[in-house]
């Protein structure tokens, strides 16, 4: 029997390399060593400056909103919760418009002894490290700073938990909509109509969105056992993305 030394060496070297160099380090090296990295540095610095200005404006606006509620509302937390659905709707629209789809050059890995599921999970963890994730929580924290005299420790942490879990769900929902839209263009128009329907229904008094929002979020704040429902929504959005990517994982 003839043994091919090249194949034997490949079986030893490839697992060793995959253990030594993680997918994350590969991505970092690809980004920093590419020819376009230095050319796009100026654009990234400019976008970073814009992001910083937006961050400061959200902090100031959030603190002002919290202070106004503290001064003019008999129940600031209940009044704040009336706009909870609009808050997450704004995050969804913002992510849809500004956040790029997480990408990954999978072709070099598809012929290696790496499970496709591992590559899919890696792609789906990238949105967790997007800079946009800072904005919703920072805005919420700024509001709570303005409301600090009307918040106890429990309510503060519940608001933080709701924003984090809700933002995770909205994040992956936005990614899923954008991915499906690539193949089915009509999804964009359905999304646009759905976004417009919320304020329109509220304005025409077809549905009292503010009352629904207040009821939902106050229920979660008063009973933390409802919080896992938000975690379940996030898990469902993650699973939908996982299934969609898994079906399109091939060399073609």
Query: For residue 114, what are its two tokens?
Result: 């790496």
The chain-wide mean pLDDT, for the chain, equals 81
Instruction: Indicate whether 237 pLDDT > 80.
Output: yes
The whole-model pTM stands at 0.80
| Positive/negative CA dihedral, 138, 52, 65, 90 | negative
Angle made by CA atoms 161, 154, 162, in degrees to the nearest 5: 15
Kindly state the average pLDDT of the residues 230-239: 95
Q: Can you tell me the distance from the alpha carbon of 237 to that of 235, in angstroms, rounded to the nearest whole number?
A: 5
Of the pLDDT bands very low, low, confident and very high (cuts 50, 70, 90), residue 227 is very high
Query: What would the pLDDT profile of 70-123 be if each residue is shown by its tens digit?
Result: 888 888 899 999 999 999 999 999 999 888 887 766 666 666 666 778 888 888
Collapse the DSSP code of 138 into the 3-class scheme (helix H, G, I; strand E, B; otherwise coil) and give the result: helix
pLDDT at 83: 92
Query: What would the pLDDT profile of 6-50 be if each residue is shown by its tens digit?
Result: 344 444 444 434 443 466 666 666 555 555 555 566 777 877 888
Kindly state the average pLDDT of the residues 210-221: 92
Number of Cβ atoms within 10 Å of the Cβ of 139: 22
Number of Cβ atoms within 10 Å of the Cβ of 80: 24
Q: How far is the CA of 44 from the CAs of 113, 128, 134, in angstroms? A: 35, 19, 17
């Amino acid at each position: 029997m003839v043994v091919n030394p090249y194949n034997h060496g490949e079986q030893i070297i490839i697992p060793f390399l995959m253990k030594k160099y993680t997918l994350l380090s590969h991505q970092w090296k690809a980004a920093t060593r590419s020819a376009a990295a230095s050319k796009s540095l100026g654009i990234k610095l400019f976008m970073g400056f814009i992001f910083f200005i937006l961050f400061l404006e959200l902090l100031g606006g959030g603190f002002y909103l919290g202070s106004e509620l503290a001064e003019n509302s008999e129940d600031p937390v209940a009044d704040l919760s009336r706009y909870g659905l609009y808050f997450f709707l704004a995050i969804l629209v913002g992510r849809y418009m500004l956040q790029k789809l997480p990408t990954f050059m999978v072709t070099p890995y598809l012929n290696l002894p790496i499970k496709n599921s591992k590559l899919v999970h890696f792609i789906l963890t990238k949105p967790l490290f997007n800079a946009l994730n800072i904005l919703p929580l920072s805005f919420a924290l700024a509001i709570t700073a303005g409301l600090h005299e009307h918040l106890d420790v429990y309510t503060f942490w519940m608001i933080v938990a709701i924003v984090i879990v809700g933002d995770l769900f909205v994040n992956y929902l936005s990614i899923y909509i954008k991915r499906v839209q690539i193949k089915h263009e009509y999804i964009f128009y359905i999304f646009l109509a759905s976004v417009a329907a919320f304020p329109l229904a509220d304005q025409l008094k077809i549905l009292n969105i503010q009352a629904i929002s207040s009821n939902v979020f106050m229920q979660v704040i008063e009973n933390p056992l409802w919080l896992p429902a938000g975690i379940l929504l996030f898990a469902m959005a993650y699973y939908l993305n996982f299934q969609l990517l898994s079906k399109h994982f091939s060399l073609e």
